[in-house]
Chain A
Amino acid sequence: MDKKKLQIALYWGAACGGCDVAVLDTNEFILDVAAACDIRMWPIAADGKYKDIEAMADGELDLAIFNGAIRTSENEHIAKLLRKKSKTMVAFGSCAHLGGIPAMANQFNKEEIFEKAYLKNPSIQEGNAAVPTPHTRVEAGELEIPVFYKRVYKLDDIVDVDYYLPGCPPAPEQVKAVLKLIVSGGPLPAKGSVVGASDRALCDDCQRKKEEKMVKQFHRPWQILQDPERCLMEQGILCAGSATRSGCGVRCPNSNMPCRGCYGPLPGVVDQGAKILSAVSSIIDSKDPAEIEKILEGIQDITGYAYRFGMAASLLQRSVR
């Protein structure tokens, strides 16, 4: 351990691994990070065991970068451990920031999820269905796996978070900018800030032509031939851009796909999904309740759409069915 170097750890909770890849997507810049920092733990790319972290003094790490949501007792344990051992903690990516894709499971309860994944899944062989249990007796002794929680939490439901770096995954340029700032030891923004993102809506940065937004029908992106120059909402394709923070470089609309909302709510917004819902309904071109119902049938899953990334950060947070 080199005392002069920054001591950092990167960790993943309930996540897909894309956030770690986003860090690696900074290409050769990661070598500068490695030169300036001691990477004490990074499960995807470097060694470092839980017991090494446990053996550290409190606050020994300068920085912990945590991606992924909190789904299991293991996620919670490591989040709390890293918080204790680090001076600064960053929620990295949509899952740590808002719950992300894993939090969409909050529409269902634990029993429904287990039934779908472990009991009724078509890939399970007859007689092989089994639900994970935290403790299992086998001949060699007792096996232990983490407890699967009733619902998904975002990182700051569990521990105090200093900064939020949004995105699914965060854009590599933004990751680089944030890492550069940390490595350079420059003055850091106020605690609780969203970093590596803009304070404007994605629509403000989107170059598509915007005119009158009123539609008689909603389409899924594959159902129509879209005009690549024109606002997607005006073409009846749901786009979360008006209710989403910019900073990603308008990657999705520039690739002819609607914004999915991964950079989270704009400053001051309490519930991103409510704003997306509001934006979508405002473009319906009808004053007749029956026709409005019919137009709304073109929206397959408003809840999954409005809360694709923000379910755990929403006002209702989970289904109470």
Chain B
Amino acid sequence: MGFEPRIVGFLCNWCSYTGADLAGTSRIKYQPNVSVIRVMCSARIDPTFVLKALATGADGVIVCGCHPGDCHYSEGNYKTMRRFPLLKKMLKDFGVEEDRVRLEWVSASEGQRFSEVINEMTDKVRALGPSRIRISLDADKVER
């Protein structure tokens, strides 16, 4: 059997999680590689969460929030919009491939789009292969 990536998905409660729910109730099929963690707002995603997911074995991380202008808390997603590009710059320096970490806006009515986003993300991470982060960290404990 080929490599199946483990992806952690952080979804905002108001738009993206509801969008994922809609995909479910509409019986839209998508690849089962994402483990979803529901958060109240995409702005709740401290960069620590993304780093911890990667450090503990995730092959990819996807963060989904409300479209700009649609945030339940009016400005939360703008904070994510500012934080994410800087985090991506930093991850590049750590040798994390660009496609492993992704930010997408998914509304509550976009069940179809949610499934497309997840399928695309899963395909890209599968093509990249397993993340080397966890493996390297474990190896460092044994071999200096």
Contact = CB atoms under 8 A, between A and B. Distances in A.
Interface of A: 73, 76, 107, 147, 149-151, 153, 270-271, 273-275, 277-278, 280-282, 284, 286-287, 289, 292-293, 296, 299, 302-303, 306, 314-321
A163 B81 CA distance: 39
B20 interface: no
30 contacts: A76-B144, A147-B144, A270-B48, A271-B51, A273-B90, A274-B46, A275-B46, A275-B47, A275-B48, A277-B87, A277-B90, A281-B82, A282-B82, A282-B83, A286-B82, A292-B82, A296-B85, A296-B86, A296-B89, A303-B93, A315-B48, A315-B51, A315-B54, A316-B51, A316-B96, A316-B133, A317-B55, A318-B136, A318-B140, A319-B94
Most chain A CB inside 10 Å of its own CB: which residue of B54, B81, B93: B93
A296 to B, nearest CB: 6
B86 A302 contact: yes
Contacts of A274: 46-48, 51
Interface string B37-48: 000000000111
A273 B89 CA distance: 13
Given A278-B83, A284-B82, 16 more contacts: A107-B94, A153-B140, A270-B52, A271-B47, A280-B86, A281-B79, A281-B83, A286-B82, A293-B85, A296-B89, A302-B86, A302-B89, A303-B89, A306-B90, A315-B48, A317-B137
A108 to B, nearest CB: 10
Contacts of A317: 55, 137, 140
A287 B48 contact: no
B129 interface: no
Contact of A320 (B78, B81, B89, B96): B96
Contacts of A270: 48, 52
B144 A149 contact: yes
B2 interface: no
A110 B81 CA distance: 35
Contact of B47 (A277, A292, A318): A277
A9 to B, nearest CB: 24
B68 interface: yes
Contact of B95 (A150, A286, A315, A320): A320
A76 B54 CA distance: 28
B95 A321 contact: yes
Give the size category of B's interface with A: 20 to 34
Given A147-B144, A281-B86, A287-B81, A320 B52 contact: no
B81 A292 contact: yes
Given A318-B140, A320-B95, A303 B90 contact: yes
Interface in B2-36: none
B86 A277 contact: yes
Contacts of A318: 94, 136, 140
B67 interface: no
Interface in B62-93: 68, 78-79, 81-83, 85-87, 89-90, 93
A47 B48 CA distance: 45
A292 B133 contact: no
A287 B68 contact: yes
B113 interface: no
Contacts of B102: none
Contacts of B54: 315-316
A76 B141 CA distance: 13
Contacts of B144: 73, 76, 147, 149-150
Interface in B119-144: 132-133, 136-137, 140, 143-144
A319 B95 contact: yes
Given A278-B83, A281-B86, A296-B86, A320 B48 contact: no
Contacts of B94: 107, 303, 316, 318-320
A-B CB proximity, top 9 nearest: A321-B95, A303-B93, A274-B47, A315-B51, A320-B95, A281-B83, A274-B48, A319-B95, A315-B55
Contacts of A150: 140, 143-144
Nearest to A307: B90
B47 A319 contact: no
B43 to A, nearest CB: 9
